[in-house]
Amino acid sequence: MEDKVLLAHGSGGKLSHDLVEKSFLAKLGNPWLNMLDDSAILELSGRIAFTTDSYVVSPLFFPGGDIGRLAVCGTVNDLAMSGARPIYLSLSLIIEEGFPLSDLDKIVVSVQRTAKEAGVKVVTGDTKVVNRGSVDKLFINTAGVGFIPPGVNIAGSNAQPGDCIIVSGPVGNHGMAVMSQREGLEFSSLIESDCAPLNGLVGDMLKVCSSIHCLRDPTRGGLATSLNEFARQSQVGIIIEEAKIPVCQEVRAMCELLGLDPLHIANEGRLVAIVAGDDAESVLAKMRQNPRSRNANIIGQATAEHPGRVVMTTSFGTSRLIDMLVGDLLPRIC
Amino acid sequence: MEDKVLLAHGSGGKLSHDLVEKSFLAKLGNPWLNMLDDSAILELSGRIAFTTDSYVVSPLFFPGGDIGRLAVCGTVNDLAMSGARPIYLSLSLIIEEGFPLSDLDKIVVSVQRTAKEAGVKVVTGDTKVVNRGSVDKLFINTAGVGFIPPGVNIAGSNAQPGDCIIVSGPVGNHGMAVMSQREGLEFSSLIESDCAPLNGLVGDMLKVCSSIHCLRDPTRGGLATSLNEFARQSQVGIIIEEAKIPVCQEVRAMCELLGLDPLHIANEGRLVAIVAGDDAESVLAKMRQNPRSRNANIIGQATAEHPGRVVMTTSFGTSRLIDMLVGDLLPRIC
C-alpha cells in the first residue's frame, strides 16, 4: 500500500475495499460495520435522538485533541444534550488526494479511542477522496443515534422563570487552543482544548434530576449564543453574573490581549444546563463530583422580565446585554 | 442579506441563525427541524437501517440532477437496498465562502423536491462555511434512518447458487452524464443521469417477493464492483451474459470512444437484485410495470462454481473474468 491516500482509494473499487479493511475495519470493526452492506441494521425501540455534524477544524491536530476526537465528541454531545444515551455513530470522511496514510491512521485511532471512552460504536461509514486542492486535507461527518430514557424531556424551549443556569466548567478553552495553533501564539501553548464526551456527565445529572429543562453544549458562538438560543426558544429572560462564570486564567489573558469575549469562544467539552431552582444545588453537587465538571457553577437565573434577552451583571456592578456572536470570530474551529 | 455565503454564516451566531431560517427552514421545515435543538427526537421501533454518505460531485449541476438530488437519492437508496422504508434524513453542508446564495437556494429546493418524491423528511442538519480554497464550492453529507418491515432479510451475503441476477435498467448513465459535463464532450449532451430514489421500486418488488436475497445500487465502481461484492460476501460464483445487460446507445458509444467499460461506470438510480430462481420472473414482471425500471432484465445467475468470482459470457460467445474497478476512472462522480 502506498503511504499516501490516492484518488483510487475513493473509487469504490479494489483500493477502496483495501482502505476500508486495513484502515477502518482493523480499528473500528464490529458486527455491524463488518457486514459491509449499504446500511447498518439496528434494533431500536422508543424515543430516539438523531443528529449530525460536519467537522472542518484546522489544524487537524491541536492541543488536547484532533479532528477524530472532535468528530466523536461533537456528535455524542449533541445526542447527550437531548438527554439521549448515545449508542451508534456513522463516520464519513472526505480526504484530499495525497493525504498521509500515517495521519489518517492517527485520526482513526483517535476515533476508536474516543468512541470507546464514550461507549458508542461506529456502525456505518463512507470515504470519498477528492483531487488535490478540492478540500483542505480532511473533513469528517458523523451522525449519531441515541436512546432517550422514559421521563426525560429536554428542549431549548423548556426554561421557566426561576430556573437556574449551570455551566459545567471554564469556557473558551477549545476555541483558544485552536486559535493559538493557527496564529502561532506561543504564550498560549498552555491552553488545551476541553474536547470530551459529555454523555457520562449528563447521565450523572439525570440520576439526581430527571427533569432537567434545557441542555446545550456551547460550541460555535460560545456560551453567549447558547444562552440567547434558550432565551428565544423559551421566551424567558436570562440574567447571568460575570463573576460566577468560570474562565481559565490563560484563556482570560489571551482574550483580553486579542480583544475577544470568552463568552463567544467555542467549547467542545462543556455544557450549560437550565434546571428548576429547587434542583439546582443537588445537580451542581453531583456535577462537581465528576472530574469533567469539578468547576461547575450556577451562573444565573431565568426570569420573566425581558423575554428573549440575556443580560449580564458585570464585575463592576453594571449590567450589559449579551448578544449572540455577530460576524465571524474564527472560522474552522470545529 | 448578502448574495453570497459569508464565513459568518457558519459562525454559529446571528448570521447562522438567519441562514438556517431563510434558506433551510423556509423550504425544508417540519416539526422536528423547526425545534432547532441539538438532535431530532423520533419515535422508532423495530429493525432500523442507518446509513451515511458524503457527496462531492463536480459539477454541482449536471444533466438529470444536481448535488442536492444526489444527496437525497444516494442515502435513500442505501436504506432501500437494506429493504428499509426510508423515513428520516440528516443534511449537513460544507460551503465555500463566496458561494452564491442563489445556487444554494437551487440546491435546497432540489433537496426539498427529491425528499418529497422519496417520502422522507430532513429532521436535523448542520452548516459549515470554510474559507475560500478550503473546499471546492459545496459538499453535502446525508445520513438516513429507515424501518425494515418484519420478514425482510436482505444482505450481500445471502446469494445462493441457482439465484437470478436482475438489473433494473440501463447502466452507466450517471457516470457518463457527469463525465460529459466535466470533459465538455458535446456529443454526449443527450446522456442524462439516472439519479432517482429507488425506495418505491424496492417496495413494489417486496410486495411480490418478500424474500429478495441481495440488493445493491451500483454507484462508484459500477455494476462490476457490486457483483464482485456479492460474489465475495456470499461465496458464490456469478455468471452474467453481456447481451442481456441493458446499456443505452449513447452510453455505449461514449464508452467505446473513451475505452471504458459500462460495467465500471457509476449509477445513481439503478439497482441490482439477487432473487431465488423461482421468484425471478414474477419480480421482473413487477419491476417492468414501474417507470423507473421498464427495461429491467435478468442478466445472469449465481453458481456454486468459482466462488468469489464474476464471469461474463460475451456477445462473441467467449468468457471473461469481470473484476472490480481497479484504479480510478473519474473522481467526484458522487
Q: Does the residue A210 lie in any domain?
A: yes
Pairs across A and B, CB distance < 8 A: 290
Q: Final residue of a domain: which of A147, A173, A191?
A: A147
pLDDT given at position A325: 84
| Average pLDDT score over residue span B105-118 | 98
**Do B182 and B136 share a domain, yes or no?**
no
- CB–CB of A324 and B14 under 8 A? yes
3-state secondary structure of A186: helix
Read off the CATH number of the domain in which A292 is found: 3.90.650.10
Task: Please tell me the distance in Å from A223's CA to the nearest CA on chain B.
Answer: 11
* Domain annotation covers residue B30: yes
Q: Which of B46, B78, B136 sits opposite A39 (nearest CB)?
A: B78
Residues B282 and B314 occupy one common structural domain: yes
Chain B residues touching A51 at Cβ < 8 A = 38-40, 90, 124
Tell whether the model's pLDDT for residue B127 goes beyond 90.
yes
Q: How many domains does chain B have?
A: 2
Would you place residue B300 in the very low, low, confident or very high pLDDT band (cuts 50, 70, 90)? Answer: very high
Q: Is pLDDT at B329 greater than 90 in this prediction?
A: no
A314, A174: one domain:
yes
Which chain A residue has the Cα nearest residue B224? A13
Nearest chain A Cα distance for residue B325, angstroms: 5
Of B96, B122, B147, which residue is a domain's last?
A: B147
Nearest to B40 among A51, A222, A331 (CB): A51
For residues A35 and B49, give the distance between their C-alpha atoms in angstroms, rounded to a whole number. Answer: 13
Closest CA–CA distance from residue B7 to any residue of chain A (Å): 6
The three cell numbers locating residue B3: 448574495
Q: Answer yes or no: is A332 within a domain.
A: no
**A132 and A18 within one domain:** yes
Q: Based on the fold, state whether residues A176 and A301 are members of the same structural domain.
A: yes
Q: Domain range for residue A82?
A: 7-147
Interface touch A332/B130, C-beta < 8 Å: yes
Per-residue pLDDT tens digits of chain A, which is 334 residues long: 569 999 999 988 889 999 999 999 999 999 999 988 889 999 999 999 999 999 999 999 999 999 999 999 999 999 999 999 999 999 999 999 999 999 999 999 999 999 999 999 999 999 999 999 999 999 999 999 999 999 999 999 999 999 999 999 999 999 999 998 887 776 656 899 999 999 999 999 999 999 999 999 999 999 999 999 999 999 999 999 999 999 999 999 999 988 999 999 999 999 999 999 999 999 999 999 999 999 999 999 999 999 999 999 998 999 999 999 887 778 899 9
Instruction: Please give the pLDDT value at position B330.
Output: 82
What's B104's domain CATH number? 3.30.1330.10
Tell if the CB–CB gap between A38 and B264 is shorter than 8 Å.
Answer: no
Q: With contacts defined as CB-CB under 8 Å, which chain A residues touch B40? A: 49-51
Chain A residue at shortest CA distance from B126:
A53
Same domain, residue pair B316 and B176: yes
Considering only CB atoms, B54 lies closest to which of A81, A128, A233, namely: A128
Cβ B152 vs Cβ B83: under 8 Å: yes
Closest approach of B280 to chain A, Cα-based (Å): 22
- Inspect the interface and report whether the beta carbons of A219 and B12 lie closer than 8 Å: yes
User: Which of B7, B20, B37 to mutate against chain A (most A CBs within 10 Å)?
Assistant: B37
- Residues B125 and B176 reside in one and the same domain: no
Asked if A199 and A123 sit in the same domain, the reply is no
Cross-chain CB nearest to A12 (options B139, B145, B225): B225
* A4, A42, A52, best to mutate vs chain B, most B CBs in 10 Å: A52
- pLDDT computed for residue A2 by the predictor: 65
The reply to whether B2 falls in a domain is no
Could you give the angle at which helices A199-208 and A67-80 cross, rounded to 10 degrees? 20
Asked if residue A55 belongs to a domain, the reply is yes
Please judge whether A50 and B88 are an interchain contact, meaning their C-beta atoms are less than 8 angstroms apart: yes
Is A153 inside any structural domain? no
3-state secondary structure chain B: CCCECCHHHHCCCHHHHHHHHHHHHHHHCCCCHHHCCCCEEEEEEEEEEEEEEEECCCCCEECCEEHHHHHHHHHHHHHHCCCCEEEEEEEEEEEECCCEHHHHHHHHHHHHHHHHHHCCEEEEEEEEEECCCCECCEEEEEEEEEEECCCCCCCCCCCCCCCEEEECCCCCHHHHHHHHHHHCCHHHHHCCCCCCCCHHHHHHHHHHCCCCCEEECCCCCHHHHHHHHHHHHHCCEEEEEHHHCCCCHHHHHHHHHHCCCHHHCCCCCCCEEEECHHHHHHHHHHHHHCHHHCCCEEEEEEECCCCCCEEEECCCCCEEEECCCCCCCCCCCC
Q: What is the mean pLDDT of residues B152-179?
A: 97
Mean pLDDT value across chain B: 95
Identify whether residues A121 and A180 lie together within a single domain: no
Q: Do A332 and B38 touch (CB under 8 A)?
A: no
B61 in Cβ contact with B159 (< 8 Å): no
Question: Which residues of chain B are within 8 Å of residue A97 when distances are taken between CB atoms?
Answer: 331
In a domain, B169, yes or no: yes
A51 and A80 co-located in one domain: yes
Q: Which residues of B touch A235 (CB under 8 A)?
A: none
Same domain, B139 and B176: no
Q: Do A326 and B14 touch (CB under 8 A)?
A: yes
Nearest by CB to residue A82, choosing from B38, B126, B220, is: B38
CB contact under 8 A, A49 and B43: no
Distance, in angstroms, between A135 CA and closest chain B CA?
4
Q: Whole-model pTM?
A: 0.96
If asked whether residues A169 and A141 sit together in one domain, one would say: no
Give me the pLDDT at residue B328, please: 75
Residue A187 lies inside a defined structural domain of this protein: yes
* Domain termination residue (choose one: A113, A147, A181): A147
ipTM over the 0.90 cut-off: yes
